[in-house]
């Protein structure tokens, strides 16, 4: 796992509901979202199970500052950010798992 952490965006479908979070362990955190480990959470209630955007940071302070910044953005800006990195709105989770030598996630 990289040092620091990342800011990420989860959704349920292209142009669907968006959730912005940050974590120092993206593999574990997205797994928790996908498996609805916290059933009363926003992501569980809205079935946000696709990781569509990730930004990596060496500094946790910078990561948290960026998360706060993105949460203040309007929806169109967030969608443009996703499209710039991931125009097809693919779920990036299995790619990250493969990068670290893990088997693909199966729902």
Q: What is the pLDDT of residues 87-101, one digit of tens each?
A: 999 999 999 999 999
Please state the rounded mean pLDDT for residues 51-68.
Answer: 96
Q: Of the candidates 27, 28, 30, which has an alpha carbon nearest to the alpha carbon of residue 9?
A: 30
pTM of the model: 0.94
- pLDDT tens-digit profile of 5-42? 999 999 999 999 999 999 999 999 999 999 999 999 99
Band (pLDDT 50/70/90 cuts) for residue 1 is: low
């Amino acid at each position: 796992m990289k040092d620091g952490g990342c800011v990420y965006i989860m959704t349920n479908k292209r142009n669907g509901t968006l959730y912005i979070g940050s974590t120092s362990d993206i593999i574990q955190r997205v797994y928790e979202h996908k498996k609805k480990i916290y059933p009363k959470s926003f992501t569980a209630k809205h079935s946000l199970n696709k990781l569509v955007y990730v930004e990596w940071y060496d500094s946790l302070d910078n990561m948290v500052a960026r998360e706060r910044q993105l949460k203040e953005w309007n929806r169109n800006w967030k969608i443009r950010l996703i499209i710039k990195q991931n125009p097809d709105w693919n779920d990036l989770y299995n790619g990250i798992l493969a990068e670290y030598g893990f088997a693909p996630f199966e729902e």
